[in-house]
Amino acid sequence: MSSTINYSTLADQLAENGQQMNNNNGDSKEAMRKLFQFNTLMMTQMLQQQNIITEQNQTIQKLMMLQRQRL
């Protein structure tokens, strides 16, 4: 199973990235690297959550089929 999404941490990271990008003397290369990492993490978490939902839906369908067979 995948780990749960920590939305607070992700929101803090996004805010930090935005602040760094708005900072005139900030290193835009570093900000872009961090933003890429953030986006990669977010996409990975979303895909893992989607996989869990798909597995749960498949399990529900199997259980419903079993229930129909017993009736």
Nearest 5°: the CA angle 6, 37, 24 is 105
Spans of all domains in the chain? 7-70
Q: Which of 37, 38, 32, 9 is nearest to 20 (CA)?
A: 32
**pLDDT band, very low/low/confident/very high, at 15 (cuts 50, 70, 90):** confident
Report pLDDT digits (tens) over 24-57.
Answer: 665 677 778 888 888 888 888 888 998 999 999 9
User: What share of the chain has pLDDT > 90, as a percent?
Assistant: 28
Beta strands in the chain (DSSP E): none
